[in-house]
Amino acid sequence: MRIWVSTVARLGLAAVWLVAGGLKVGDLAASGRAVNAYQLFPYEVAKVIGAAQPFLEIALGLLLLAGFAVRLTAGISAALLVVFIAGIVSAWARGLQIDCGCFSTGGELGAGADPAYGWDLARDAGFLLLAGVLLWRPRTRYSIDGILMGDEQ
């Protein structure tokens, strides 16, 4: 039963990364503006981070989908999610009115629009939980790791 929980966690987190990266990869400039909206980096650095981020997310999604290096990929996922959570908390604490850009182009919100920081944090905490399951129990069904370890016949 535990192997199925890990399998669902792996495939769920893979879907998260593939969707998040896929939605951003078509407009890298918007992804850079979303990172810049957090006001944590100089604009040029934010542009580079924003341009690289969708590719990192897609790579994590593909590795998880294939089930290759699951524990390592889950660890990188967890670290990235902690960075995202810290960024959202920082924006909220500083009173910024932004869309997190997790599944959109992000950026500053218009006048009167309320950011969904509570929802964003709860969602990312749920994704972090999925990564935690995979750090704890990385063996899953239908994975390259399983084939390499002789689990899959």
Q: Does position 124 have pLDDT exceeding 90, yes or no?
A: yes
Q: Does position 72 have pLDDT exceeding 60, yes or no?
A: yes
Over the chain, what HEC string results? Answer: CHHHHHHHHHHHHHHHHHHHHHHHHCCHHHHHHHHHCCCCCCHHHHHHHHHHHHHHHHHHHHHHHHCCCHHHHHHHHHHHHHHHHHHHHHHHHCCCCEECCCCCCCEECCCCCCCCHHHHHHHHHHHHHHHHHHHHCCCCCCCHHHHHCCCCC
Mean pLDDT of 142-152: 80
In this prediction, residue 84 has a pLDDT band, given cuts at 50, 70 and 90, of very high
* pLDDT tens, residue by residue, 19-57: 999 999 999 999 999 999 999 999 999 999 999 999 999
Q: What is the pLDDT of residue 93?
A: 96
Task: Give the predicted TM-score (pTM) of the model.
Answer: 0.92
Domain ranges of the chain: 2-145
In this prediction, residue 1 has a pLDDT band, given cuts at 50, 70 and 90, of low
